[in-house]
Amino acid sequence: MEHKGFTLWFTGLSGSGKSTIAERVALRLERKGIPVEILDGDIVRTHLSKGLGFSREDRDENIKRVGFVCQLLTRHGVVAVASVISPYREAREYNRHKIRNFVEVYTRCPVEVCAQRDIKGLYQKAVKGEIKGFTGVDDPYEPPLNPEVVCKTDVESVEESVDKVIKKLEEMGYLV
């Protein structure tokens, strides 16, 4: 069966559940025989964007690189699942305009809850000033204005959020 490629762009604070939900959605799609590639922010930073720092320009460049890969995958019938903080609205909108079949998923979660979930201790280090420019602490996160899906990860279970994403993909005609 021919499948229409699309990009699922997960955005949200560190610890908001992006990767967890993205991986579970990808697994469900793979079980349906749909080709899927996950581009996780941590992995992308070590391979595709090695050498980039965390200035606004470098963060935007990172997001554009991820978007470029998503665009290629989507064009060739693959579902590209990007799970990246992507803190700046302008960079996300750039990718929305470049990538046909773009679905934005906002994993909304209060920064306090994200900090409690933080197994790496990054929020604590940022609050102490050991990490500069940490999104949600001393660098802004600009929430999406009109995401296709909002997962309220502080009150929804992972499965509820995954179901919400799958339902939206069905409504949009990406899944049958």
Q: How far is the C-alpha of 36 from the C-alpha of 29, rounded, in Å? A: 7
Coil/strand/helix, residue 34: coil
What secondary structure does DSSP assign to 107-170, as a single string?
EE--HHHHHHH-TT-HHHHHHTTSSSS-BTTTB-----SS-SEEEETTTS-HHHHHHHHHHHHH
The catalytically annotated residue of 14, 16, 83, 86 is: 86
The span from the CA of 2 to the CA of 174, in Å, is 12
Which amino acid is located at 163 in the chain? D
> What is residue 78's DSSP assignment?
P
Strands 149-152 and 102-108 turn out to be parallel
Residue 157: active-site member: no
* Catalytic machinery residues: 86
